[in-house]
Amino acid sequence: MNRGHLEFQFRVPHAQVLLALAMCALVPRPLVGQVPDSARAGAERDKLPVFRTSEIAVQVARSVAALAGLPYAISVADRSAVQVAERTVSLDEALRFIPGLFVHNRRNFSQGDRVTVRGQGARAQFGVRGVRVLADGIPLTLADGQSTLTNLDLASVGRVEVIRGSASSLYGNAAGGVLSYRTELPVDQSLLLEPLVMGGSHGLFQTRLKASGSTGDVSYLGSLSYLQTDGFRDFSEAEVFRANVRVAGRVGETGEIRGLLNLYSTPFAQNPSSLSLEDARDNPRMARSFIISQGSGEEATQGQGGVALDLPVGETTRLRATAWGLWRDLWNPIPGRVIQIDRLGGGFRSEVAGSLGPEISWVGGVDLELQRDQRMESENLGVDEDVPESRAQEGEILLDQRERVLGLGPFLRVGVELGERWTLTLGGRLDVYRFDAADHLTADGDDSGDRTFTEFSPAAGLTFEASDWLQVYGNFSTAFQTPTTSELSNQPDGSGGFNLDLEPERIVGGEIGVRGSFQDARLGYGVSAFLANVKNALIPFEGPTEEAFFRNAGEVERSGIELALGWEPDPAWRLELAHTIQRLRLEEFEIDGEDFAGNDEPGVPSQWLTLGLTHTPGVGLRTEVNFRWVDAYAVDDANTAFNDSYRVVDVRLSLDRTERGWPLRMFLGIDNLFDERYNGSVVPNAFGARYYEPAPGFEVYGGVSWPIGSAPGGGL
C-alpha cells in the first residue's frame, strides 16, 4: 500500500496538471534560508532578498547570526508566502514549500492543524506536539510541551523561520523542530488602514481591519479579525475572533522595547471527528450521529502578551529579554466526557550574545517557564435534543485536579571560526521540569503526585563556506519531549493524578546538508539528509469513547532526504520545488504480545512533493499554481490500514489596481482544482478503525482590500 517513489514518477504527470502548470506561474517566494533585509523601509522589509545567501541573517538560533555559518537545516518563508491571496487560516498555506515539514490541515477549528517536522508531532490529537513554536520571541509552546496555535494571527505574520530538526540544545522541551513567527514590520507613514472582506465555499466569511504606522521613535501594528464558516463536513461550524497588537519603541541609539498582545475567542467550534474508510469514501461530509448527540467541540478564550527588551550592553554584547504571560479558558465536550481547563502560564526568556575577538561568537541565557492548569472532567450526558442549539450536559465529576509545571533551562552556544571558511559550533542546555498534580476528588483515594524530568541536550556542528554557490554543514544533537499534562492525566484506568508509566521521548541524531545559490542563473537550492534514533517514542491510541491515551514505543528510527529548489529564469517567472523522502520505522514496539517491529510509524507520509509556478507580468497581476502530491502512509501500528496517496492542484490570482487615486487589491483562490477525493489528515490508531478526516473537493474563495493611508494617494 505504501507505493513509494517509483509510483510517483509514473502517476504524477497527468495532462490536466501539466496544462495548468504551463498556463500559470508563481510570485517570488523565499529560497532556502532567506530573510528580509531589516534596513529597508516599511512593507518592503518583509520581502526576502533574492540570490544573496552570503548576506542572509536569521534569529531562530537565538541570536542574529549569518545563516552561512550555522550548521542547521533552516528555511524561511516571507510575508508573500503567508498572506498574499491566502485565507490566512491554516499553517498549510504558509509552509507548503518547506521540505521535511508536513501540515495536516484538519479543517477543524476545535482541533487545529497538526504539524510534523521529520516525523516529530505526529502524535498530536489536537494542537502541536514535539515542535517548538514562538511568535515574536514569545513561546506559544507551554512548559509541558504542548502548543496551541489558535491565537496565532497569520494575517499579521511578516516571516517564518524554521529549524528542521532537533534543537533542544537551544529551546529545551519539545524542540524536535522550531517554528519562529515574526509580525510584519509597520509601514513608514503615520497611519495605514487595510480593511479586508473575504467569502468562499462552505459558508466562509472573513472580515479584517489592520492598522500600522510609525511616528518618531514609535511604531505599531494591530489587526482585528472575525471569521465564520459552516465547514465542509456536517457539524463543523465555527466562529473565530482574533486581535493582535505589536508596539515598538526605540531605546537609545540601537535599543528597542516591544509590547505584544494576542487575543482569541471562539464561542463554539464543532468537531465532526474522524470516519471509517467506507464512510470517508462514500459520504465524506457526514458526522456520526453519536458525535452530534454528544455535542463534541470546543469553546475557548485565550489571551497572551509580553514585553521584550533588546539592548546593547557594551561594545560587543547584546541583551534580549522577554517576559510573558497567558490565560486560557477551555470548555471541551468529547464523547463520554466534558473537559474544562482554566489555565495560567508565563515565563521569562533571556539571551546574551557577544564575541571574544573576531573568531569566537557566543550566545547564552536562561529560560523560566510556568504553567498552572485547573482541570475538571465530567460525564457527558449529551445534548438535549428538544432544545435547539443546546450544549452538552454535564453529569458526575470524574476528575478534579490542579496541575502545575515548572521548567528551568540555562543554555550556551559558541561559534568558533577555524580559518576563513570553517566554523565550529558547540552548545548545550540543561533542563529541569517538575510536574505535580493535586487531586481534589479524594473520595476514591488521593492520586496526588509529582514527576521530575532532568535532561542535558548537547549539540555540535561544522560549517564549510566554499562560496556563494556551495555551503556544506553537518551536526550531531539530542532532543527530548516530555509527556504533556493532558497526556499524563489521561489514564486508561480513569484514575486521577499522573501516569507513572509514561516516560519522556529522547532523540539522538545528526544531519548533513548543502545549500547555496547561483546568482547568474537565478537559482537557489538546499539539500539535507538526516538520521535520528528515538527512544520511548510517544505513540497515541484511542479508547471506546475516542479519548486519546499514550504509551511509549521502545525505539523508532527516522531518516530522510529533503530538497528545496527555487529558480527565476527572469523576474516575471518563478519555479519552486520542495521534495521530502523519509523512512520512519518502528524498531522495538510490542503491545499485548503483538510485535510491531519493522512497521512504519503511523500518521506521517513517507514521501511528498510540492511544485509551484508563479507569473508576475508587472501590471499588478499575479498568477500562482501549486501542485502537491502525497504518498500513501500507514495509519495504525500494525500497518493494516493506510491513507491513500493523493494529488491536489491549487490556484491563486491577485490584482492590484488604483481607481481614482485609491488602491484596490482583489484576489481569488481555488483549492483542489480537479476535485480530488482524499483525506487531508488522519487520527493514528483511532478506535473502531475511524482513522480518516476527509478534505473538501473543489473550493473557491475571494476577497478585496483597499488600503487607506496618510501618504499621498492613500486617501486620508
- How far is Cα 365 from Cα 352, in angstroms, rounded to an integer? 6
The x, y and z cell numbers of residue 46, run together, are 518583509
Q: Is 179 in a helix, a strand, or coil? A: strand
Q: What is the DSSP track for 117-128?
A: ETTBTTT-SSSE
- How far is Cα 459 from Cα 472, in angstroms, rounded to an integer? 17
Q: Are strands 646-659 and 621-630 parallel, antiparallel or unpaired?
A: antiparallel
pLDDT (average), residues 450-465:
96
The x, y and z cell numbers of residue 300, run together, are 475557548
pLDDT (average), residues 10-17:
35
In this prediction, residue 647 carries a pLDDT of 98
User: DSSP class of residue 275?
Assistant: B
How would residue 24 be classed by pLDDT, with cut points 50, 70 and 90?
very low
| Nearest Cα to Cα of residue 147 among 496, 509, 481, 536 | 481
pLDDT (average), residues 61-90:
90
pLDDT at 41 > cutoff 80: no
pLDDT at 584 > cutoff 90: yes
In this prediction, residue 43 carries a pLDDT of 39
Query: In Å, what is the CA distance from 170 to each residue of 62, 174, 350, 419, 426?
Result: 7, 11, 12, 25, 11
How would residue 22 be classed by pLDDT, with cut points 50, 70 and 90?
very low
Cβ atoms of 87 and 701 within 8 Å: the answer is yes
How would residue 28 be classed by pLDDT, with cut points 50, 70 and 90?
very low
Contacts of 359 (CB under 8 A, 6+ apart): 416, 417
- How far is Cα 8 from Cα 257, in angstroms, rounded to an integer? 51
What are the tens digits of pLDDT across the range 239-280? 999 999 999 999 988 999 999 999 999 999 999 999 999 999
Cβ atoms of 553 and 536 within 8 Å: the answer is yes
645: phi then psi, degrees, rounded to nearest 5: -65, 160
Which residue reads 532567506 in cell numbers? 34
% of the chain at pLDDT higher than 70: 91
User: DSSP class of residue 482?
Assistant: P
pTM: 0.90
Cβ atoms of 233 and 694 within 8 Å: the answer is yes
pLDDT at 545 > cutoff 70: no
Q: Pick the range with the lowest mean pLDDT from 16-30, 351-365, 572-586, 658-672.
A: 16-30
Q: Is 140 in a helix, a strand, or coil? A: coil
HSE, side-chain direction, 13 A CA sphere, residue 300: 27
In this prediction, residue 444 carries a pLDDT of 77
- How far is Cα 152 from Cα 143, in angstroms, rounded to an integer? 18
pLDDT at 315 > cutoff 70: yes
The x, y and z cell numbers of residue 104, run together, are 495536516
Q: Is 347 in a helix, a strand, or coil? A: strand
How would residue 33 be classed by pLDDT, with cut points 50, 70 and 90?
very low
pLDDT at 19 > cutoff 50: no
CB atoms within 10 A of CB 355: 14
- Bridge partner list, 207: 197, 226
CB atoms within 10 A of CB 267: 11
- Bridge partner list, 367: 349, 409
496 vs 172: which has the higher pLDDT: 172
- How far is Cα 177 from Cα 481, in angstroms, rounded to an integer? 11
40 vs 270: which has the higher pLDDT: 270
Query: In Å, what is the CA distance from 381 to each residue of 126, 247, 293?
Result: 23, 46, 9
User: What dihedral do alpha carbons 88, 94, 100, 105 form, nearest 10°?
Assistant: 20
- How far is Cα 404 from Cα 402, in angstroms, rounded to an integer? 7
Query: In Å, what is the CA distance from 470 to each residue of 74, 120, 438, 515?
Result: 15, 29, 56, 6
- How far is Cα 46 from Cα 56, in angstroms, rounded to an integer? 14
The x, y and z cell numbers of residue 532, run together, are 535520528
* Phi-psi label, residue 593: left if phi above 0, alpha if psi -120 to 50, beta otherwise: left
Q: What is the DSSP track for 644-676?
A: PPEEEEEEEEEEEEEETTEEEEEEEEEESTT--
Query: In Å, what is the CA distance from 167 to each residue of 28, 195, 481, 582?
Result: 29, 39, 11, 19
- How far is Cα 580 from Cα 563, in angstroms, rounded to an integer? 6
HSE, side-chain direction, 13 A CA sphere, residue 311: 10
How would residue 645 be classed by pLDDT, with cut points 50, 70 and 90?
very high
In this prediction, residue 3 carries a pLDDT of 38
What are the tens digits of pLDDT across the range 91-149? 898 899 999 999 999 899 998 899 999 999 887 777 788 899 999 999 999 999 998 88
In this prediction, residue 152 carries a pLDDT of 87
User: 89-100 burial, b if ≥16 CB within 10 A, otherwise e?
Assistant: bbbbbbbbbbbb
| Nearest Cα to Cα of residue 360 among 426, 285, 296, 415 | 415
In this prediction, residue 564 carries a pLDDT of 96
- How far is Cα 118 from Cα 116, in angstroms, rounded to an integer? 6
Cβ atoms of 609 and 578 within 8 Å: the answer is yes
The x, y and z cell numbers of residue 211, run together, are 492598522
Cβ atoms of 35 and 60 within 8 Å: the answer is no
pLDDT at 36 > cutoff 70: no
Cβ atoms of 156 and 183 within 8 Å: the answer is yes
The x, y and z cell numbers of residue 281, run together, are 469514501
Q: Pick the range with the lowest mean pLDDT from 303-317, 436-450, 613-627.
A: 436-450
Spacing of C-alpha 463 from chain mean position? 27
43 vs 228: which has the higher pLDDT: 228
User: DSSP class of residue 384?
Assistant: -
Q: Is 469 in a helix, a strand, or coil? A: coil
**CA dihedral sign of residues 520, 37, 73, 642:** negative
How would residue 519 be classed by pLDDT, with cut points 50, 70 and 90?
confident
pLDDT at 689 > cutoff 90: yes
The x, y and z cell numbers of residue 93, run together, are 498555506
What mean pLDDT value characterizes the chain? 88
Query: In Å, what is the CA distance from 426 to each residue of 125, 318, 325, 481, 510?
Result: 35, 20, 31, 21, 14
672 vs 55: which has the higher pLDDT: 672
The x, y and z cell numbers of residue 133, run together, are 513554536
- How far is Cα 474 from Cα 460, in angstroms, rounded to an integer? 9
The x, y and z cell numbers of residue 368, run together, are 523560566
How many residues would you count in the chain? Answer: 716
128 vs 347: which has the higher pLDDT: 347
Cβ atoms of 26 and 613 within 8 Å: the answer is yes
User: What dihedral do alpha carbons 77, 82, 83, 85 form, nearest 10°?
Assistant: 100
Cβ atoms of 77 and 96 within 8 Å: the answer is no
Contacts of 658 (CB under 8 A, 6+ apart): 664, 713
133: phi then psi, degrees, rounded to nearest 5: -130, 135
User: What dihedral do alpha carbons 195, 652, 580, 103 form, nearest 10°?
Assistant: 40
In this prediction, residue 37 carries a pLDDT of 29
In this prediction, residue 40 carries a pLDDT of 30
